[in-house]
């Protein structure tokens, strides 16, 4: 059932993006039919698909539609076909432009280990069991956007590449505030990660996080860690963390690392949020943290669960539909508990026979999507 009060822009993108999005469409349809949670849906091309269509990684019209929509559901962009294009034309620029123009400064990347997947992680079960952490990545500044940047040829004929890491105090404070607020609803603990030992932006980050903490969030436990040490601690004893807040580049890397605690990169959803306006509405884009996975694209084997759980985050954060979000997450949990596994969740190169002997069912993208819908039916 469509509900013109809720507008959604769907941008499937490239590679496995459209494949995993197709499975979420089934869940969207189910929600419309069974829970009257409908959307006015617009769909558009982004990334390589948009380049092929009109020569730009995202068009002005698409950006406008994203700014107007209540939420954007995004797949993934990029692929070898477009890798050699000039920098500003690369598919990834489409996503970066959306993040910047929508001012989506807070990127929430939860890494949760489902009981059924404890053995799917490459880490020992006792290290990952019950893990539930939230990485908050600053998303609209830092080295991704700092000026100057580019590649030039020096007088001696050598080429020089430049990227600039820059942060203002306001940019640091607003993302740290999101981390403190979220921590209050969780285990009340924030670890802020930077490299204050070697970077000016790290010194500023640590100062501002500390000041903001003193001013307004004294009830929340705050610790600081160098990002390299945090990368190590995340593998050594991840349970020490609750909320981690960090900059754009460190957050990108640490969240891919954290995904392997959960069993697969195909398990991590994300919410990219702007500041609330006067009516409390935030601009928002939801996407899995993984990319277009050219190595498996078109094979029908991608894991659709990160995209599915990104949709659940959208229900929770953009539409205040917590019980529907819980329902989707429970369906994911139950389907995994029932033994359904896409190939990425079968570690150690289990073949079909070995997986079956363990009670696991190796499934493709569509079968996983169908299993989710079937489980939703069973749950209500
Ligand atoms: N948000 C995005 O759109 C996004 C994010 C990351 C990378 N990218 C782009 O994607 C392209 C490929 O990058 P990459 O290979 O470094 O990263 P990737 O995330 O696409 O893939 C890394 C590895 O993880 C596997 N993988 C990722 N998602 C999976 C899923 N849902 N199910 C099963 N396996 C999955 C892939 O098969 C691959 O082996 C590049 O063009 C890159 O810029 C886009
Ligand atoms: C595709 C790319 C721009 C993106 C990033 O680096 O932010 C991706 O790696 C991510 O994690 O969303
Ligand atoms: Mg990334």
The candidate with the shortest Cα–Cα distance to 72, out of 93, 101, 31, is: 101
Residue 95, domain member (yes or no) = yes
Task: Return the CATH number at 334.
Answer: 3.40.718.10
What residues contact 86, with CB distance under 8 A and at least 6 apart? none
228 labelled as ligand-binding? yes
Angstrom distance (rounded) from CA 181 to CA 175 = 10
Residues 88 and 158 in one domain: no
pLDDT score at 353: 85
Residue 76 bridge partners (DSSP) = 13
359 labelled as ligand-binding? no
Q: What is the pTM of this model?
A: 0.97
Number of domains present in the structure of the chain: 2
Separation in Å, CA 300 to CA 77, 83, 311? 17, 23, 20
Query: Pairing state of beta strands 106-112 and 271-273?
Result: antiparallel
The candidate with the shortest Cα–Cα distance to 182, out of 268, 242, 233, 256, is: 242
Residue 306, domain member (yes or no) = yes
Work out the angle at residue 291's Cα, subtended by the Cα atoms of residues 289 and 293, and round it to the nearest 5 degrees: 140
pLDDT tens digit string along 133-187?
999 999 999 999 999 999 999 999 999 999 999 999 999 999 999 999 999 999 9
Ligand 2 atom closest to 96 (CA):
3
- Domain containing 291: what range? 1-109+264-380
Separation in Å, CA 33 to CA 37, 147, 234, 315, 327? 8, 49, 41, 16, 15
Domain boundary among 214, 236, 262: 262
Active site residue 167: no
Residue 33, domain member (yes or no) = yes
Tell how far the Cα of 196 is from the centroid of ligand 1, in angstroms: 30
- Report the chain's terminal Cα–Cα distance, integer Å: 18
pLDDT score at 199: 98
pLDDT score at 354: 84
Within 69-161, residue ranges assigned H as helices are 91-101, 125-128
- Residue 43 in tokens: 């769909």
Q: Which helix (H) or strand (E) holds 50?
A: helix 48-54
Tell how far the Cα of 113 is from the centroid of ligand 1, in angstroms: 20
Active site residue 195: yes
Residues 297 and 195 in one domain: no
Residue 114, domain member (yes or no) = no
87 labelled as ligand-binding? yes
Query: Pairing state of beta strands 132-138 and 106-112?
Result: antiparallel
Active site residue 115: no
Domain boundary among 232, 247, 262: 262
Residues 36 and 12 in one domain: yes
Residue 117, domain member (yes or no) = no
Residues 255 and 297 in one domain: no
Residues 252 and 130 in one domain: yes
The candidate with the shortest Cα–Cα distance to 16, out of 331, 261, 305, is: 305
Residues 322 and 348 in one domain: yes
Residues 139 and 8 in one domain: no
pLDDT score at 186: 98
Tell how far the Cα of 134 is from the centroid of ligand 2, in angstroms: 17
Angstrom distance (rounded) from CA 49 to CA 26 = 22
pLDDT score at 289: 98
Residue 223 bridge partners (DSSP) = 191
Ligand 1 pocket, 77 CB below 6 A?
yes
Angstrom distance (rounded) from CA 188 to CA 181 = 9
pLDDT score at 4: 52
Q: Among 80, 293, 362, name the best residue to mutate to test ligand 1's pocket (greatest count of ligand atoms within 8 A of Cβ).
A: 293
pLDDT score at 1: 44
Active site residue 144: yes
Residue 116, domain member (yes or no) = no
Q: Where are the beta strands (DSSP E) in the chain?
A: 7-13, 40-43, 71-76, 106-112, 132-138, 146-153, 159-164, 189-194, 221-226, 243-246, 271-273, 284-286, 340-341, 361-362
Q: Which stretches of the chain drop beneath a pLDDT of 70? A: 1-4, 348-349
The candidate with the shortest Cα–Cα distance to 105, out of 191, 176, 159, 161, is: 176
Per DSSP, the three-state class of 111 is strand
């Amino acid at each position: 059932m469509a509900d013109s009060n809720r507008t959604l822009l769907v941008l499937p993108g490239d590679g496995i993006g459209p494949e995993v999005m197709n499975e979420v469409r089934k869940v969207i349809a189910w929600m419309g039919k069974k829970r009257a949670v409908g959307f006015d849906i617009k769909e558009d091309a982004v990334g390589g698909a948009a380049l092929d269509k009109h020569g730009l990684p995202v068009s002005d019209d698409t950006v406008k539609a994203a700014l107007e929509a209540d939420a954007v559901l995004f797949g993934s962009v990029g692929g070898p076909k477009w890798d050699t294009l000039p920098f500003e034309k690369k598919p990834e620029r489409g996503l970066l432009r959306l993040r910047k123009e929508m001012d989506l400064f807070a990127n929430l990347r939860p890494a949760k280990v489902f009981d059924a997947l404890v053995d799917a992680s490459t880490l020992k079960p006792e290290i990952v069991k019950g893990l539930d952490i939230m990485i908050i990545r600053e998303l609209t500044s830092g080295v991704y956007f700092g000026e100057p940047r580019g590649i030039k040829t020096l007088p001696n004929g050598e080429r020089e590449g430049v990227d600039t890491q820059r942060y203002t105090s306001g940019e640091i404070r607003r993302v740290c505030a999101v981390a403190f607020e979220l921590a209050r609803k969780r285990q009340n603990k924030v670890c802020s990660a930077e490299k204050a030992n070697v970077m000016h932006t790290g010194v500023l980050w640590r100062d501002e996080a500390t000041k903001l903490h003193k001013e307004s969030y004294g009830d929340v436990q705050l610790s600081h860690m160098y990002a390299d040490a945090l990368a190590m601690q995340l593998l050594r004893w991840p349970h020490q963390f609750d909320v981690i807040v960090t900059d754009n580049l460190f957050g990108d890397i640490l969240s891919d690392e954290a995904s392997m605690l959960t069993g697969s990169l195909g398990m991590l959803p994300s919410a990219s949020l702007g500041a609330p306006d006067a009516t409390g509405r935030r601009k928002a884009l939801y996407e899995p943290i993984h990319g277009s996975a050219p190595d498996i694209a078109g094979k029908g084997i991608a894991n659709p669960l990160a995209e599915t759980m990104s949709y659940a985050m959208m229900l929770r954060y953009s539409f205040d539909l917590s019980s529907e979000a819980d329902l989707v997450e429970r369906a994911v949990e139950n389907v995994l508990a029932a033994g359904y596994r896409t190939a990425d969740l079968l570690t150690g190169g289990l073949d079909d026979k070995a997986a079956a002997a363990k009670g696991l069912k190796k499934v493709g993208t569509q079968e996983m999507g169908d299993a989710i819908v079937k489980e939703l039916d069973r749950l209500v």
